[in-house]
Amino acid sequence: MDFDQILAKCGDFNRYQFMILALFGFINIIVSMHYFTQTVISFVPDHWCYHEKLVNMTYKEIADIYAKFENPSCTRLADINGSVVTVSTEKCEKWIYNYDFGYRSMNTELNWVCDSAYKARIGQSLFFIGSVVGTLFYGLLSDKIGRVPALILSNFCGFAGDFSTIFTKSVATFTLCRFISGLAADTNFYLMYIIVLEYIRPSMRTLGLNMAVGLFYCLGLVFTPWLAVLAGHWQIYLACTSLPILLVVLYYFVVQESAQWLVTRNDIDGAIMRLKRVARFNGRHVSQAEFDEFRRHCQMTREMQGGDDKKHATLLDMFKTPRMRKNTLILFFKSMVITLCYDAVSRNVEGMGISPFIMFSLSALAVLPSSILLVLLQDRIGRKGMASGSLLVGGLFTAAAGIAIAYQQHNHNAILLACLTIAARFGVAISYESGSQYATELIPTCVRGQGVAAVHVAGFAASFLAPYILWLGTFFKAAPSIILGVLFFAGSFVCLLLPETLNRSLPTTIEEGEVFGKGERMFDFPCLHHNDDDDSDSEMEKYKRKHSLIDAKQQVESGQYSKRKQSLIDADREEQALKDAKH
């Protein structure tokens, strides 16, 4: 009896799963506010250099006076005498701000505008660097001490960084706090993602995970700017968004550690204890004999893989076997393409001329439709088809935008270009969401934490290129869209080389990851072979079982197994023979 079978008996889509999905939803709300904190506290409204004769004027009158200057926000006036305005050669040191909805941001309070605008950008850069370091660190830590402790530590780090930012006044302390806050970015989300994925029925993963992301992440994004408006001040806003993070500490008492991870650490008793808690929470009765059968399966699997003498797998083990190495490199490349394109396409839609609070909420509304589309299609066409198809669609719209720009160099159709770019953004948003689930399912349980972390880090590293790709547009307007279109197409193609994971038993060890999907062709999609899914999965299981039993027989004949181990092999062979007879 493998893990999926014993989990089905304990309940794989019942009260416990609904609870952790709700807790995952809370994580999504926290993450949405945490990740965009830097953006919200750095909002800069319309502003003009201060002059005493402007104090009693309306904002429209001030804007009209400065309208004649090339850089009105940073131009200092020496004197204002009716319609005659004299410009000063001195730098501006004080500003008049037209606050959006009365919200006072950090940039306006510290006057980090004009020549000092770079200070806030340094903090954002350090946040990004912290996210790279934190993703690697907490990914490795989660495979060492467990998913739940790493999740709690990661979120606490995010709280410490955001809350300490409240008291910063200098660039040095601000960048340090943003680096600490960045350490939590991404790991505070995907570690809970892994926990939920491992405890939920395979056929319900797409619905549960993507609807949780679509509903709660979208809710958090839409609500975030208006929380800032309600707070009225960036420091109060930071307090309101950071303090709820401390509630994640309570997850230690209600969220069970990953039973699959405990099995890979040879802690079978710990895994069974967690499964018993899940069964009790779900109101299911599972006999001790069934747990003993699961224990025997785990022991048998461990014996086949070298017993207690085998060291724990690491990230480097993913590169030691040919098929596992190929899949890992494809996941890296796919993450780099998706993250780079998402960042570049998002930056390419700016300057809408409306309040950043309204624009932020409107753009956030795209998250829910993308999640709904994933739910409707991903379990029909499969993970591979969804990943490849969404990238292909994004590439088509991006390339179309590039062609339109090239042929309309002097008379752009703004509405057409906006529609094409937004459609491309919607496509890459779908790819971004489906990519997280695909990578988590493909990477074996024993290295899932550090493997997913490495995949995300590869994507973060690639996003450094986004500003430079957009910069090429200064030489040839269509260059960014054409380059991004090519990347979209390349990502779509390599996704076809990955095995399908829909309704399959996921790999738990490096050895299982090596044979996972073996024999599958490039264009094998579940929607085209409705009756072949189960057969394909059973063929993989037969392949693993055949080679495991051959290896066991050879080791028995060479005297490497004790009588106890031999009895386990015989028992497993008899159990499998009964299952084959039923089929």
188 exposed, middle or buried (CB, 10 Å; 0-12, 13-18, 19+)? Answer: buried
Q: In this model, does residue 473 exceed pLDDT 80?
A: no
Structure tokens at 1: 């009896």
Question: Whose CA is closest to 199, among 22, 379, 11?
Answer: 11
Assign 77 to helix, strand or coil.
strand
Those residues whose C-beta lies under 8 Å from the C-beta of residue 339, and which sit 6 or more positions away, are 432, 459, 460, 462, 463
Look at 14-28, 47-61, 146-160, 286-300 and tell me which has the smallest mean pLDDT: 47-61
Mean pLDDT on 480-509: 88
Backbone phi, psi, residue 78, to 5°? -85, -40
Q: In this model, does residue 104 exceed pLDDT 80?
A: yes
- Quote the pLDDT of residue 418: 64
- Distance, CA of 228 to CA of 41 (rounded, Å): 8
Look at 27-36, 181-190, 288-297, 358-367 and tell me which has the smallest mean pLDDT: 358-367
Number of DSSP helices (H) and strands (E) in the chain, helices first: 26, 4
3-class secondary structure per residue, 496-541: CCCCCCCCCCCCCCHHHHHHCCCCCCCCCCCCCCCCCHHHHHHHHH
What whole-number percentage of the chain has pLDDT above 70?
Answer: 85
Question: Whose CA is closest to 447, among 545, 536, 334, 320?
Answer: 320
475 band by pLDDT with thresholds 50, 70 and 90: confident
CA geometry: angle 198, 200, 203, nearest 5 deg? 115
CB 95 within 8 A of CB 111: yes
- Quote the pLDDT of residue 495: 92
- Quote the pLDDT of residue 558: 46
- Quote the pLDDT of residue 576: 54
* pTM for the whole structure: 0.75
160 band by pLDDT with thresholds 50, 70 and 90: very high
Question: pLDDT digit string (tens) for 33-76?
Answer: 998 888 889 888 888 888 888 888 888 888 888 887 877 788 88
Q: In this model, does residue 566 exceed pLDDT 70?
A: no
3-class secondary structure per residue, 433-499: HHHHHHHHHHCCHHHHHHHHHHHHHHHHHHHHHHHHHHHHHHCCCCHHHHHHHHHHHHHHHHHCCCC
Cα 302 to Cα 160, 165, 274, 297, 382: the distances in Å are: 41, 48, 20, 9, 31
CA atoms within 13 A on the CB side of 265: 17
- Distance, CA of 205 to CA of 207 (rounded, Å): 6
- Quote the pLDDT of residue 276: 96
Q: In this model, does residue 6 exceed pLDDT 90?
A: yes
| Residue 350 or 269, more confident | 269
What whole-number percentage of the chain has pLDDT above 90?
Answer: 32
Strand pairing category for 77-81 and 84-87 = antiparallel
347 band by pLDDT with thresholds 50, 70 and 90: low
157 band by pLDDT with thresholds 50, 70 and 90: very high
Q: Which residues face 47 on adjacent strands?
A: 97
Size (the chain), residues: 583
Those residues whose C-beta lies under 8 Å from the C-beta of residue 83, and which sit 6 or more positions away, are none
Question: pLDDT digit string (tens) for 313-340?
Answer: 788 889 988 999 999 999 999 999 988 8
- Quote the pLDDT of residue 577: 52
Q: In this model, does residue 557 exceed pLDDT 80?
A: no
- Distance, CA of 187 to CA of 427 (rounded, Å): 24
- Distance, CA of 31 to CA of 206 (rounded, Å): 20
- Quote the pLDDT of residue 563: 46
CB 379 within 8 A of CB 206: yes
| Residue 567 or 240, more confident | 240
Mean pLDDT on 552-559: 44
- Quote the pLDDT of residue 303: 79
Q: In this model, does residue 555 exceed pLDDT 70?
A: no
- Quote the pLDDT of residue 10: 95
Amino acid, res. 378: Q
- Tell me, what DSSP letter sits at residue 53? G
17 band by pLDDT with thresholds 50, 70 and 90: very high
Q: Which helix (H) or strand (E) holds 81?
A: strand 77-81
